[in-house]
Structure 1
């Protein structure tokens, strides 16, 4: 895409002037500027706040956690059986 020339810029300015009028045009330009500034600030945030990689637990730690969960499930099943029969 080529750069805009003087004629194109004048045409765009004339259309904006006709749409918004001389009183609203500065407010419109100001709000567009604020929106672009906010968008640029939000777009730059993910680069600055890159999450740290999470270290996976060792196989031994994973096995221990699975055994603890299995023991809890067995205890809950036994409690449920006792509640059903008693």
Structure 2
């Protein structure tokens, strides 16, 4: 397990700051809020779809048990 962590590397604060700076340089300050809004709405839609699908799955399981 330790060899896996060593080979993949451990993500620390300096690495996260470096990634944030690269993203800021690539997309610019004005695009980042738009990207986050799009990601947030996508996650929200996914959660709603998963919630709506869950009762349908439980109904199918009940039918197969009978």
| TM class by smaller structure | 0.5 to 0.7
Structure 1 or 2: larger helix share?
A: 2
Would the alpha carbon gap of residues 8 and 48 (structure 1) be closer, same or farther in structure 2, given more than 3 Å must change?
A: farther
Size of the aligned set, in residue pairs, is 56
Quick check: which has more Rg, 1 or 2? 1
Coordinate RMSD, CA, aligned: 2.8
d(CA) in 1 for partners of 2:17, 2:28: 15
Runs of 4+ in 1 over 6 A off after TM superposition: none
Say whether 1:14 aligns with 2:21.
yes
Extract unaligned runs of 5+ from structure 2.
none
SS at match of 2:42: helix
TM-score, normalised via structure 2 length: 0.59
